[in-house]
Amino acid sequence: MKILLAVDGSDYTKRMTEYLASHAWLVSGNAFTVLTTVLPVPHRAAAFVGTETVKLYYTDDARLVLDPVRDFLQSHGVQAEYVYKVGHPAQEIARYAEENGFDLVMMGSHGHGLVKNLVMGSVATKVLAQCKVPLLLVR
């Protein structure tokens, strides 16, 4: 099974990766891709600072989220591919999951956003609404 792990570096990302690492049945025989999203730099700001600076910002911002996840998963014997996309998180997660034929999306139920929804975070709610791939939310 192909499983997409959508991460943002929040405490709920940590809970989701801990859940994954503690359930051998979920790890065994599955292929994992870890995805984070970076919000786009406004066009005028990008034009002012230049293309290379913007690319470096995107890469650095993604690494701040992906590197701790990579370290944790590797220490628990979980091999994964690591990618980032630029755009709105919910749209990018849903699009990436569908376009790449994932069987399951796993993510934390809340992220770094403001608490707008007490039951489930706004990104999780939007992914649930937009994505045709089954979604496992970890609290």
CATH of the domain at 87: 3.40.50.620
Question: Which residues, in sequence order, are CB contacts of 80 under 8 Å at separation 6+?
Answer: 5, 32, 33, 34, 70, 73
Instruction: Supply the pLDDT for residue 121.
Output: 59
The rounded mean pLDDT for the chain is: 89
pTM for the whole thing?
0.89
pLDDT of 110 reads 63
CB 93, CB 104: distance < 8 Å:
no
Number of domains in the chain: 1
Residue 36 DSSP SS3: strand
Q: What average pLDDT score do residues 12-38 get?
A: 94
* pLDDT for res 116: 43
- What stretch of H or E contains 83? strand 80-86
Predicted pLDDT at 111: 53
Q: Residue 130 CB: number of other CB atoms within 10 A?
A: 14
Task: Dump pLDDT digits (tens) for 79-132.
Answer: 999 999 999 999 999 999 999 999 999 999 865 444 444 444 588 889 999 999
Minimal CA–CA distance to 56: which of 38, 43, 80? 38
Range 8-36 average pLDDT: 94
Containing domain of residue 11, as a range? Answer: 2-138
